[in-house]
Amino acid sequence: MSETGAGSALSQTRGSLWPWWSNEAWDRTSFTWDLWYGCNYRCSYCWWEMGDLWADLAKKHLILPPEKWLTCWDRIYDRYGTVRVDVLGGEPMRYPSWKELFEGLSRRHLVSITTNLSISMADLRDITDKISPERIHFAASYHPQFAKWEDFVEKVGFLKSRGYAPHVLVVAWPPLLGDLSRWSEAFKKMDVPFTTSVFQGKHEGREYPDSYTNEQKALLGLTIPVAEEQRYRLERESTRGKLCGAGHVYANIKANGDVYRCGQDCLGGAKPFGNIFDANFGLHESPEPCPYQHCSCGEFAFLWEDWSRKKGRRELAVADSLRRGAAREAGRG
Taking the CA atoms of residue 138, residue 144, residue 147 and residue 149 in that order, the dihedral angle to the nearest 10 degrees is 90
C-alpha to C-alpha distances, 104 to 65, 126, 190, nearest whole angstrom:
11, 14, 31
Number of residues that bind ligand SF4 (CB under 6 A): 14
Which of 317, 282, 287 is CA-nearest to residue 302?
Answer: 287
Using rule CB under 6 A, residue 302 touches ligand SF4: yes
Q: 106 or 200, CB closer to ligand SF4? A: 200
Q: Which residues contact 289 (CB under 8 A, 6 or more apart)?
A: 241, 242, 243, 244
Q: How many CA atoms lie within 13 A of 19 on its CB side?
A: 22
Binding mask 273-292 for ligand SF4 (x = CB under 6 A): -----------------x-x
Using rule CB under 6 A, residue 198 touches ligand SF4: no
Q: 219 or 244, CB closer to ligand SF4? A: 244
Single residue of 224, 303, 317, 318 touching ligand SF4 by CB under 6 A: 303
Find the shortest distance in angstroms from Cβ 171 to ligand SF4: 20
Q: 65 or 241, CB closer to ligand SF4? A: 241
Contact 159, 117 (CB under 8 A): no
Q: 64 or 246, CB closer to ligand SF4? A: 246
Compute φ and ψ for 188, nearest 5 degrees. Answer: -60, -40
Q: 103 or 265, CB closer to ligand SF4? A: 265
- Tell me the Ramachandran region of residue 90: left when phi exceeds 0, alpha when psi lies from -120 to 50, beta otherwise: left
Single residue of 43, 131, 244, 251 touching ligand SF4 by CB under 6 A: 244
Q: Which residues bind ligand SF4 (CB under 6 A)?
A: 239, 244, 246, 261-262, 264-265, 290, 292, 295, 299-300, 302-303
